[in-house]
Amino acid sequence: MAEFIMELNDEQKEVRDWIHGFAAEVMRPAAAEWDEREETPWPVIQEAAKIGIYSLDFYAQQYFDPTGLGIPMAMEELFWGDAGIALSIVGTGLAAVGVLANGTEEQIGTWIPQMYGTPDDVKVAAFCSSEPDAGSDVASLRTRAVYDEAKDEWVLNGTKTWATNGGIAGVHVVVASVDPELGSKGHASFIVPPNTPGLSQGQKFQKHGIRASHTAEVVLEDVRVPGSCLLGGKEKLDERLARARERAKSGGERVKNAAMATFEASRPAVGAMAVGTARAAYEEALEYARTREQFGRPIIDNQGVAFQLADMRTSIDAARLLVWRASWMAVNGKPFTAAEGSQSKLFASETAKKVTAQAIQILGGNGFTREYPVERMHRDAAIYTIFEGTSEIQRLVIARTLSGMPIR
């Protein structure tokens, strides 16, 4: 087990600087344009693929970094560049994590490469969990998967919403109910291969922030996928369902469902995204405060501004440490006995909202215009307290973990 450290090693610093260079030279100059267009920035994704940032190999190297710091370091730098473009680059990763968390070795080797494509033919993937009536309340999920034993196929029906890359993805990973009586414990994840009949894009959402990232509904109408597309395989599913039924009868411990396994693995990464956006806004505000003069002196000479910047930097550093701790714990198989993953996501996302708002305040009227990037950063930061578990849900998870009580 790797020791928990609070400093990147030389190799990690080299990778960090490489990603930072891409974020500064390619992403930032394109950020305002793609935010206004509200379209997937395919040329930027392709540039990322050409240099190796958008690739299975890159994410595998960071994912399996024994220190746990590879992924959060990469996420922070990319989202420092621009949250909307960064989410277009890393959105496929959530689907990939879904396969890594629940799939067999064969499924991992078959499907994850197809999610990324090649630098000359870039692809994206989508993880489809939320529904119009089932966001935080995953037990209310209505998308059904029914097994057709005669054909060894699963038939999927339902509507997914808030799916990053939904409809434009090649590979979709869909969470569906196979046993509604078991609630969230009766869920399973399925691969829907490219060009599968019955899957279509529904409404594309026009969003407040992260507008360069494609978010849409995914409609499944009698979608048939081979039995091999059930992540983990049917034997493993049958065993898990049998245990869940037995525990339901005896009132025993709860078991994790497929969607929650994915979210638990990704929450520290979302925290790192929030840290990146917060850091970007802080740096803009700090530079502005140093150069903007009022009453014959830089505004940073005023305690009202300087103290805000001190609080901003302190919160950002604290958020990063919580993210790094949770990431190290996850990679090294240490249980989140105090919901450390949720802690990191909660604090970092709330920090991003607060810091970006403070940055606008420091810039004053300029901060409220699109001429300065803090306005966009503030809009982007709003998503961190919402997706992959709202702040309220994170607090609920933490409280339940600490108390052992079914707090509602």
Give the catalytic positions in this structure: 388
Q: Say how far apart CA 401 and CA 405 lie, in whole Å.
A: 8
Q: Say how far apart CA 29 and CA 10 lie, in whole Å.
A: 28
Cβ count within 10 A of residue 340: 23
Residue pair 346/389 in contact (Cβ under 8 Å)? The answer is no
Q: Say how far apart CA 255 and CA 234 lie, in whole Å.
A: 17
Closest CA to 33 of 80, 76, 85, 88: 85
Residue pair 348/322 in contact (Cβ under 8 Å)? The answer is yes
Burial classification of residue 255, based on how many CB atoms lie within 10 Å of its CB (0-12 exposed, 13-18 middle, 19 or more buried): middle
State the first-to-last Cα distance of the chain, in angstroms, to the nearest integer.
Answer: 36
Closest CA to 124 of 88, 159, 160, 100: 88
Return the half-sphere exposure (C-beta side, CA atoms, 13 A cut-off) of residue 340.
Answer: 16
Q: Say how far apart CA 275 and CA 140 lie, in whole Å.
A: 32
